[in-house]
Amino acid sequence: MMGALLRASGLGLEEVIEILRGEFANYSESGMWTACQSILSEHDERQSALSALNANDVMSILEQSINNKKIQMDFIQSMLDPEE
């Protein structure tokens, strides 16, 4: 889901992270796990989030996942762009 949003939106990583921070500024356990379900697509990412010691660790995992997806999307875009 997150990959599709990044691809469709054209937003940069920092913009996406700021949106997430705004959405989840008022921490709730429910909101954090909703974000994880939406963003973390790899089994090892989800396991890392489940074993995290605190919310900051989970946020770092979310940020890394978003960054990885952005890198993948940039690579795919460069493959599709005939000008480069």
The residue among 28 and 6 whose pLDDT is bigger is: 28
- pLDDT at residue 6 tops 60: no
- For the entire predicted model, the pTM comes to 0.64
Q: Confidence band (pLDDT; 50, 70, 90) for 9?
A: low
- What's the confidence (pLDDT) of residue 1? 53
Is residue 30's pLDDT more than 90?
A: no
C-alpha 8/C-alpha 28 separation (Å) is 28
Rounded alpha-carbon distances, angstroms, from residue 57 to 25, 52, 83: 15, 6, 40
